[in-house]
Amino acid sequence: MDTISVTNSSLSTQVGRAAPAAGQTTHDALLAVASLSRALDGSAKLSDVGGLLWMLLRQTLPADSLALFLPDEEQDRVVVRYAAGLHAAAILGVTRPTSMGIAGWAAVNRAPVLNAEPSLDLGFRADSAPALRACVAVPLIDSDALVAVLALYSRNLNGFTEDHVRLLEVLGPRLASALVDAAIADEDSRLVQPSGPRSLKLVQST
């Protein structure tokens, strides 16, 4: 499982202080994400940003696992480039065609999915004890380009609510902004044009 690097240990302290406990308001969560964005200097790795997002979201939502699916346009698929929580090591690297599964649907339709069956994306990994029984997924979009699909998993059937979806939709643009530099910099993200800096290799919505 990816971990926060030592060079960014101070960032976890900043976000840890700002991260809201369960039951706090959307405003508090927005402040926490804003703090995260300010803490990042544009050079953080995907594992750094992912670790900070997990630190924040697990204090805000009833999530047992997190996966960040990044788009691979050349292969028409989404790939888990960061995972945390239960079964993270098994989830990391999971690949799904954009025409199939929860994350693929969220990526193509740019819409959230609530309480879907985790095995649609994770296969047998979702059934390993303790089993994951619900998934909420939201597309993260920055400047009209899909940066990632954020998927959260719960051990509880129907573990997420419409309120959780609304919170993630409000947080989505800020989460995308926090992720975009790390996604571009990550050598495995496949978001960088070979001949052009900071150019997202993604089809933008029309």
For the segment 128-145, what is each residue's pLDDT rounded down to a tens digit? 999 999 999 999 999 899
Q: What is the pLDDT of residue 179?
A: 87
Q: Give the confidence band of 194 by pLDDT, cuts at 50, 70, 90.
A: very low
| Average pLDDT taken over every residue of the chain | 78
Q: What is the pTM of this model?
A: 0.77
Distance from C-alpha of 165 to C-alpha of 167, rounded to nearest angstrom: 5
Q: What is the pLDDT of residue 13?
A: 36
Which of 103 and 35 is assigned the larger pLDDT? 103
Q: Give the confidence band of 186 by pLDDT, cuts at 50, 70, 90.
A: low
Q: In this structure, what CATH number is given to the domain that contains residue 177?
A: 3.30.450.40
In a domain, 67, yes or no: yes
In a domain, 140, yes or no: yes
Segments forming the whole domain that contains residue 40:
6-191
Q: What is the pLDDT of residue 35?
A: 61
- pLDDT at residue 201 greater than cutoff 60: no
In a domain, 47, yes or no: yes
Structure tokens belonging to residue 53: 């997002």
Distance from C-alpha of 154 to C-alpha of 33, rounded to nearest angstrom: 22
Q: What is the pLDDT of residue 43?
A: 62
Number of domains in the chain: 1
DSSP conformation letters of 93-149: T-EEETTSHHHHHHHHHT--EEEE-THHHHGGGGGSSSPP-EEEEEEEEETTEEEEE
- pLDDT at residue 27 greater than cutoff 90: no
Of 114, 93, 98, 101, nearest to 166 by C-alpha is 114
In a domain, 198, yes or no: no
Give the three-class secondary structure for 71: strand
- Strand pairing report for 113-116 and 95-97: unpaired
Sign of the alpha-carbon torsion through 194, 200, 205, 206: negative
Q: What is the mean pLDDT of residues 58-71?
A: 94
Q: What is the pLDDT of residue 42?
A: 58
In a domain, 203, yes or no: no
Q: What are phi and psi of 83, to 5 degrees?
A: -145, 150
